[in-house]
Amino acid sequence: ATGCVMLIRCSALREAGLFDERFFGQCEDVDLSLRVRAAGYSVRYAPGAKLWHKEGVDYRKNAGEQARRFTGARNLLWLMHKHAKAIQWVTFWPCFLVRYVGILGLRSIKAGDYQSAWALFRGILAFRQMRRDSSANVPDDIAFGRQRRPGTAVE
């Protein structure tokens, strides 16, 4: 279920737990849905319901596209790490490498947005760090949507 709109039983949240804060911004809703299903609840959607959701507007407005690229790569890998079976990684890697690394990386470079392309690779590296120490930190220059010089304050 998408996190932009969901109804969920309190008993399901008590059993499955709340959102995993390590995700910060993307994939937390999918993680919660998978944990709710694993707890024995069903996840359903209402095809007749209507919702208008401008995906990525908050990221672009408040943090920048590089934050979206960083958290997208890192969190998708973290979601797979938490929930995927070994066989699912076989199909995931080609899709991830083509879509995230290939298409999104090249799209950023073509647009001259080298920070977003680099943020994508930093997200992959951050996933490796999360596996080692479960760190959820988003670097300041990613979280605030711009590069910082060492020793300068964020406004």
Q: What is the pLDDT of residue 62?
A: 62
Q: How far apart are CA 106 and CA 3, in angstroms?
A: 28
Of 116, 120, 109, residue with least CA distance to 145:
116
Q: Which two tokens stand for residue 136?
A: 């959820």
pTM of the complete model: 0.80
- The reported pLDDT for the residue numbered 154 is 37
What gap in Å lies between CA 28 and CA 61, rounded to an integer?
20
The answer to whether the CB of 76 falls within 8 A of the CB of 89 is no
SS3 (DSSP) at 148: coil
The CB-side HSE value for 29 (13 A sphere, CA atoms) comes to: 12
Residue 94: the pLDDT is: 95
Averaged over successive runs of 10 residues, the pLDDT of the chain (155 residues) comes to 84 93 87 95 87 68 79 94 95 92 94 93 92 72 50 39
25: left (phi over 0), alpha (psi -120 to 50) or beta: left
pLDDT score at 142: 67
Instruction: Give the pLDDT score at 21.
Output: 86
Residue 30: which of 50, 12, 6, 57 has the closest Cα? 6
Which residue, among 152, 73, 76, 154, has the nearest Cα to 117 in the 3D structure? Answer: 73
Q: Print burial letters for 121-135: b (CB count within 10 Å at least 16), e (below 16).
A: ebbbebbeebeeeee
